[in-house]
Structure 1
Amino acid sequence: MSQSQVAPQPQKLTPLNIIGYGTGDAANNVGWQMMNLFLTTYYVYMGIDPMVVANIFLGARLFQAVVYLFAGNVTDNFKPNKNGKFRRLVVIFGIPLMISVALMYTIPPNSAMNIKIIWAIVTYLLYQLFGALGGVPYGALLGAMTEDPNERQKLSAARNFGSAAVGIIFTFTLATRVNSMDPSKLFLPVVSVFCVLGALGYVFMAKATIEQYTPAPQKKTSPLHSLQVMFSNKALLLVCLATLFMTNPVGSIAPIVAKEVLAVGQPHLISQVTFALTLVSVLAGAVMSPFSPVIVRHLGKKTTWITGAAIVIISSLAFIFVENAWLAVFFIAMNSVGVQFITPCVWAMQADSVQYHEWKTGEKNTEGAAMGALSFTRQVGGAINSWAGPAILSFIGYKSGMNVAQDPSIQTNMRLAVGLVPTIVFAISAILIFFYPVTEKKFRQITTDLKERHAKEAAQA
């Protein structure tokens, strides 16, 4: 059976098609970038206890991980019409997603704390729900638009550009003011405008993109089967476990780190350092993405992962000891670069682990189960990462509220936590990957052996 049913004479993608797809991810990132860059600071400055914030993030992200298990079925069961299938789903879930993002930043400032917490929980859960339901069809849309590898690369580049563009705009509009302006007045006007633009972006994406390919029905994979495959596949298990140990909390609490650690006693630097830390978080992926394939090709996936972890560890330890604010920003930037070394290895190693499993056991067609296992563990890892930033604030005794006097020990303790947490977890990640059995040499042997095995099976059929 062919992998897909091809529409008659599929057309080449136009610049409008590519821009339209990138616009969709720009809309996705209205919520994603606001959550990553500013939501922790907003909740804490609105007076919500940091540990409460951490638990909201953890619970909601785990909830989203469960939703992702069912979002594929929602997409599969949706019937296409003349306006497509995936595009319509992105709009159907994208517009309420934008509404939920705006609502996250409308906590009544003078309400009782219980009201603030309930408001945060409900709106954040809605964001995670619609984000999962809309994210699956948006990802599937790329495959429905083209099967040409070069065109898919262009679509991926447009997606990265859309994400970075939104992050840069938020950095310029919010980062310099987040530590000086009342959060109840700062965020809502900016977020509301971008949510309207995001909703319009989804509509534009639906009009500008095309669906030419209908993926063939795939074998259904249960969560239990995904777990069984993961625990029976050493290579996949190590990759999944290693992704759980990639916690890097500085991005989510960057404005607070800038204010309470790097610019203490230098109030004139607060806005500049906050801007720099936020920009580093936004640009790391965009700057590194063109170089990542070259690095992986020269070092190999396993060595690239360990090298990236080493960069994170060295830069995180250096952050603890440097006093100069701008040198500290540099090491945070290097920390982000190290993470980007690892990111492209994750999915590539998952794909390699499928062939390793077939080579070791003879079991075929475990791609879906392996993808399900890795996707779930990445969601759990994301939940832990979201929890870590505000949890650190709680553990060191940080007091919620804006311009609240903090204990003098906060500066030292926050510096230690921001440096030591990634040092420890990325060291564990590197140790796990050290035992990953599929080196580049081993993978070449596996592919050769499987080709010979498949040829023999075909001859005997």
Structure 2
Amino acid sequence: MTRGSTIARGAKLSFIERISYGFGDFGYSLPYNAVGAFLLYYYTVVAKMPAAAVGTIFLTARLFDAAVDMGVGVLVDKTRTRWGQARPYILFTAVPYSLVFIMIFMVPDWGEYGKLAWAFVSFNLLGILMSFGSIPYTALLPMMTPDTGERLKLSSMRSIGTSISVIMGTAATMPLVSLFGGGDEQKGFLCVALLFAALSLIALLSLFRNCHERHERAEAPDFPILPAVRDMLRNRAWLVAFVFTLLYFVRFGAMISVTAFFAIDVLRKPWMISFMLPAISGMLLLSAFIAPPILSRTGIRAGCVGALLVSIGLFALLPWLEAAPFAFLAVYFTASITTSLTITAIFTMIAEAVDFHELLFGVRYEGLLSAGVSLATKIGMAVGSAAIAYCLAWASYSPDAVSEEARSVIRWSYYGWPILLLTLQLICILFWPMGRANKPHGETAEYDQLDYVSAQS
């Protein structure tokens, strides 16, 4: 493939295939978002574990995932089965992933060290199984179709699946904990884990059954790993997608971890949790419909720049609205919509980075490139969550007697981190090497000539 060529438009995907692909993200994200939003609370308040130790578990577990993710990516690229390259991993990890999620909320009363050991093992297992399922899932998108328009539709459906998982995993979790637990939060969290695990399993099995790989691989399954990783690091589209995704999920992990503390201890309005947590990415449900036409017209780079500029301005306005909760929520919801546009862009950026890799090096390596971006997701979540846990420990946070110093740290964490990370995302996306996101008639992305030349060098 030479510069300026296009990949032929693939067959149109059926609605069942698109919705099954989108709800695959629901299957992976529902347990993961519930863990991200409430595991810090569950471990420190319900299971009575020290916040600093919990933060260390979050961070070390995700750093361990670095080797696992890259290994899974290579395995996907080397896999050839009657089910394809990616689909067998989705099938065989679905049940273990659901069971380990339940295990996370079954912390036994084994004393402090026993609890921490259980938390470390179960949280690591969830991350490993997430790697073996979600990386093939991400790699599946460019295998399903080479058509950029169809990819945007799949990304849109994935955004819908993500948003519904966030709404359920955040807004519904605490009401369901109260309903099922009857005042016993340990029992309530376990019952919610059982329910969410069942829904996740159904979504993942539907993903395997209804989605198929159509893009045939030309290269042999055996390839040298180190040169492949070297070429991946030379792919500017992949580097931008990796850093952009990392920054997004550092912010995401920090915000879903700190929101409950912010609403309870700073705003002193616990009822706002059920509105604020879903809005962090729950507005994806709306942005999933508006993002594809916007990004098709503006391109990934210009569309994300506009969304990030608006988001930074809105987050800077929020501290002045703390005394007016409904005005606060209105501005917050608007900021959440604009930031959600960028996650739809991320899903398409990953697929386009695979095409760009083929343009530069003549090979695709969907698994390896998807693994790198999946790694950014999990490291970002871990760093964001761990940062909040360390901030709470540094401020000597105690749920029974919250000091003014702790409230100040929580307030700064809630506003300062998002503005900083959104600004860094803005700088990052300026280096995206592609022009328009979608050419007329469903052809693939066109590459800016200057960017292509610089990427080759």
TM-score greater than 0.5 by the shorter chain: yes
Q: 2:112 matched to which residue of 1?
A: 113
Q: 1:63 matched to which residue of 2?
A: 64
Alignment map for 1:93-242 (pairs within 5 Å): 93-108=93-108, 110-141=109-140, 156-176=155-175, 181-206=183-208, 208-209=209-210, 211=212, 213=214, 215-218=216-219, 224-225=226-227, 228-229=230-231, 232=234, 237=239, 240-242=242-244
How far apart are the structure 1 equivalents of 2:431 and 2:139? Answer: 33
Q: Which deviates more, 87-96 or 373-382?
A: 373-382
Q: Name the Cα RMSD after superposition.
A: 4.1
Q: 1:259 matched to which residue of 2?
A: 264
Q: Which deviates more, 120-129 or 408-417?
A: 408-417
Residue 404 of structure 1 aligns to a residue whose secondary structure is coil
1:446 paired with 2:442, answer no
Alignment map for 1:50-449 (pairs within 5 Å): 50-75=51-76, 80-81=81-82, 86-108=86-108, 110-141=109-140, 156-176=155-175, 181-206=183-208, 208-209=209-210, 211=212, 213=214, 215-218=216-219, 224-225=226-227, 228-229=230-231, 232=234, 237=239, 240-246=242-248, 247-248=250-251, 249-262=254-267, 264=268, 269-270=269-270, 272-324=271-323, 325-346=325-346, 363-365=360-362, 367-368=364-365, 372=368, 375-376=371-372, 379-380=375-376, 382-396=378-392, 397=394, 403-434=399-430, 446=449
Q: Which deviates more, 307-316 or 346-355?
A: 346-355
Q: 1:43 matched to which residue of 2?
A: 43
TM-score, structure 2 normalization? 0.77
Q: Aligned letter for 1:416? A: W
1:423-452 alpha-carbon deviations (Å, 9 max, x no partner): 2232233234446666669966629999xx
How far apart are the structure 1 equivalents of 2:342 and 2:177? Answer: 31
Residue 283 of structure 2 aligns to a residue whose secondary structure is helix
How far apart are the structure 2 equivalents of 1:16 and 1:440? Answer: 28
Seen in structure 2, the aligned counterparts of structure 1 residues 284 and 425 have a Cα distance that, compared at 3 Å, is same
Kindly state the Cα deviation for residue 43 of structure 1 after the two structures are TM-superposed: 1.9
How far apart are the structure 2 equivalents of 1:352 and 1:152? Answer: 9
Give the conservation status (yes or no) of the 8 Å contact 1:311–1:334.
no
How far apart are the structure 1 equivalents of 2:34 and 2:333? Answer: 19
How far apart are the structure 1 equivalents of 2:372 and 2:186? Answer: 35
Seen in structure 2, the aligned counterparts of structure 1 residues 54 and 316 have a Cα distance that, compared at 3 Å, is farther
Q: Aligned letter for 2:261? A: I
Kindly state the Cα deviation for residue 309 of structure 1 after the two structures are TM-superposed: 2.6
Count of residues paired in the alignment: 428
Seen in structure 2, the aligned counterparts of structure 1 residues 388 and 31 have a Cα distance that, compared at 3 Å, is same
How far apart are the structure 2 equivalents of 1:131 and 1:103? Answer: 15
1:226-262 alpha-carbon deviations (Å, 9 max, x no partner): 5544665666545544444333121233222211122
Seen in structure 2, the aligned counterparts of structure 1 residues 431 and 161 have a Cα distance that, compared at 3 Å, is closer
Q: Aligned letter for 1:136? A: I
Q: Considering only CA atoms, is the larger Rg found in Structure 1 or Structure 2?
A: 1
Q: Aligned letter for 1:318? A: L
Q: Aligned letter for 2:258? A: I
Residue 245 of structure 1 aligns to a residue whose secondary structure is helix
How far apart are the structure 2 equivalents of 1:218 and 1:253? Answer: 46
How far apart are the structure 1 equivalents of 2:152 and 2:28? Answer: 19
Kindly state the Cα deviation for residue 92 of structure 1 after the two structures are TM-superposed: 1.3
Kindly state the Cα deviation for residue 419 of structure 1 after the two structures are TM-superposed: 0.8
Give the conservation status (yes or no) of the 8 Å contact 1:58–1:384.
no
Give the conservation status (yes or no) of the 8 Å contact 1:27–1:201.
yes
Seen in structure 2, the aligned counterparts of structure 1 residues 156 and 422 have a Cα distance that, compared at 3 Å, is closer
Q: Aligned letter for 2:31? A: G
How far apart are the structure 1 equivalents of 2:351 and 2:13? Answer: 27
Q: Unpaired segments of 5 or more residues in structure 2?
A: 2-9, 438-444
Kindly state the Cα deviation for residue 277 of structure 1 after the two structures are TM-superposed: 0.9
Q: Aligned letter for 2:52? A: M
Give the conservation status (yes or no) of the 8 Å contact 1:240–1:374.
no
Give the conservation status (yes or no) of the 8 Å contact 1:67–1:132.
yes
TM-score, structure 1 normalization? 0.76
Q: 1:459 matched to which residue of 2?
A: none
How far apart are the structure 1 equivalents of 2:190 and 2:230? Answer: 46
Seen in structure 2, the aligned counterparts of structure 1 residues 181 and 277 have a Cα distance that, compared at 3 Å, is farther
How far apart are the structure 2 equivalents of 1:235 and 1:145? Answer: 20
How far apart are the structure 1 equivalents of 2:78 and 2:234? Answer: 31
How far apart are the structure 2 equivalents of 1:349 and 1:84? Answer: 23
How far apart are the structure 2 equivalents of 1:38 and 1:261? Answer: 18
